[in-house]
Amino acid sequence: MTIEKYRHPVLFYILATLIPWISWFTAGHISHITPSNNLNILVASILGIIGLTSPMIIAFSMILPDKELRSDILERFFSFKKIKPIYIFATFFLMLASILLAQAVSLLFGYSSDQFKLSGVFSFSAGVFPAWFMLLIAPVLEELAWHTYGTDCLRKRFSLISTSLMFAIYWGMWHFPLSFIKDYYQSNLAESGWIYSLNFVVSLIPYVLLMNWLYYKTGRNILVAIIFHITAGFFNEIFLTHPDSKIIQTVLLLVLTIFIVIKDRDFFFQRDYSI
């Protein structure tokens, strides 16, 4: 079985953490140098992209020398035979439905219906790179690491529930240095209050479980993971969503995740990979 060839989780995750963290902590320092100038912004932006891209480069450096792994990656990009329509629908619209429902629930607590209006602006910037560009490119670059090598090298050894929980915790830590880069999403989140930063970390638990549920239900399709990741960022940015509604969204996703895990218990808890 091809998944047995994803053999180096320790090496992958050490490198996929070390290089981004060095790049991002350095970028964070440069972004706060005053007076700011175009060169500082450019250097910090480049370091940000280097950190973002490095896990993908590490993953592909482990995959490309092996013919069987190369074939596995190509097949998982272009094979759609195992994908049922319900999973396609969930991939594209689950995150949209969750944020709209969260905003609707917030109305019961007195929050404004203006949340359903399109914002017209983004809540963050990324140096020289437009926010819309980062909302597209970041999911692509990340999932070309996490769902080409990173997830499967854990799933080879652990159940899907353990794999997902471990990765969610790791992913929260992986984002940590971004909170020091001026005007980045995580930095703005930290400035808005600790409860919202905590919500971001907690939200990764149901999010990762749902993404991996879709990923393995669709035959480990990499495009499914990329699209789901894009929709998560995009739909949480386009509305005038109150930050508290995102907390409600996390609760709703947790409830949905618990329901799916209980309903498909064997799928999540079986130790041997036999999908």
Helices and strands (H and E) in the chain: how many: 12, 0
Q: For 38-51, what is the mean pLDDT?
A: 95
Q: 106: burial class by Cβ within 10 Å (0-12, 13-18, 19+)? A: buried
Q: For 226-237, what is the mean pLDDT?
A: 97
- What range defines the domain where residue 31 resides? 2-269
Q: 137: burial class by Cβ within 10 Å (0-12, 13-18, 19+)? A: middle
Sorting pLDDT into bands at 50, 70 and 90, what band is 275? low
* 10 domain residue, yes or no: yes
Q: What is the pLDDT of residues 152-176, one digit of tens each?
A: 999 999 999 999 999 999 999 999 9
Instruction: Report the amino acid identity of residue 146.
Output: W
Q: Are 140 and 251 in contact (CB under 8 A)?
A: no
pTM, entire model: 0.95
* 117 domain residue, yes or no: yes
Instruction: Report the amino acid identity of residue 63.
Output: I
* 106 domain residue, yes or no: yes
User: Which residues are known to be catalytic?
Assistant: 142, 175
* 275 domain residue, yes or no: no
* 128 domain residue, yes or no: yes
User: How many domains does the structure of the chain reveal?
Assistant: 1
* 274 domain residue, yes or no: no
Task: In whole angstroms, give the CA distance from residue 261 to residue 259.
Answer: 6
* 105 domain residue, yes or no: yes
Own/partner contacts of 251-258, CB < 8 Å, gap of 24 or more, are 252/98, 252/101, 252/102, 252/105, 253/98, 253/203, 253/206, 253/207, 253/210, 254/205, 254/206, 256/98, 256/206, 256/210, 257/205, 257/206, 257/209, 257/210
The angle subtended at Cα 159 by Cα 155 and Cα 160, nearest 5°, is 70
Largest CA distance in the chain: 58
Q: Which residues share a beta bridge with 224?
A: none
Write the DSSP string, 113-157: GGGGSB-SS-S--BTTB-HHHHHHHHHHHHHHHIIIIIHHHHHTT
Within 10 Å of residue 110's Cβ, how many Cβ atoms? 6
* 245 domain residue, yes or no: yes
Range with lowest mean pLDDT among 14-23, 67-76, 230-239: 67-76
Sorting pLDDT into bands at 50, 70 and 90, what band is 1? low
What percent of the chain lies above the pLDDT cut of 90? 86
- Residue 158 is given by DSSP the state S
